[in-house]
Amino acid sequence: MTHSTSLNLILNSEKLSLEEISKQIIRARDAVSEGRYLVTVFDAPKDWTSRIPIEGLVISSTLGNIEDRSQSWEFYGNGAIRCYRSKSLKLSRTLQWNIVRRTGDKPYVRRPGLPTTFLKKNMIPVSDKAFTRDVANNVWHLKEEDLQDRIIARFSSLLTWQDEEFTVFSGTRSRKIAERTRLDLSGDLVGVPTKIPYFWDSEDVLF
């Protein structure tokens, strides 16, 4: 059985029509096999003006209407990606991501039948600071210069095995990611915690 996950990139959505976005979602959805994922990454709103509800379109095209939910899909998670210009590290834009999963055996069901050498190639560096401070959370911080490559690397490594199909959809185009390798976080941003003191009205430190 071929296992296939879709990454659907809907960027610069203000230039796209409702019909174009809907068709792209359907194409990406239809490529997902049982037990695998439809990941959609799209622009976060910059203001309160009316816009095409991309997350709503994803949910309605998979889970269906709230009055009659489909048993073929389930909600998996959502989050955001804050993007930075690499030299100045100035925030350039924010993206949102949404994940739904087609019902069926989850990826970990394959684990007992996989060879040790293959499992090692698929290991995720959970002790890396970039993982504990960024990847493991639902708000990521990535550089603009290699943004799409890092999005692909993270989602493909976190959700699938390297021998499974991982297809990226963008506009009317699609491409399968070949020659996948172990997730490398050495060039990613690492958040540095800053302690901010909180005071009572009396100026005593609260914590």
**Averaged pLDDT score across all residues of the chain:** 93
Q: Is the pLDDT reported for residue 207 higher than 60?
A: no
Mean pLDDT, residues 41-60 taken together:
92
Mean pLDDT, residues 84-92 taken together:
87
CA distance 119 to 109: 13
Mean pLDDT, residues 90-115 taken together:
96
CA distance 57 to 65: 10
Q: Which residues pair with 100 in a beta bridge?
A: 38, 75
Q: What is the 8-class DSSP label of residue 110?
A: G
pTM of the model: 0.91
pLDDT of residue 192: 81
The neighbour count for residue 108, using CB atoms within 10 Å, is 9
CA distance 55 to 94: 15
Fold adopted by 4-176: Rossmann fold (3.40.50)
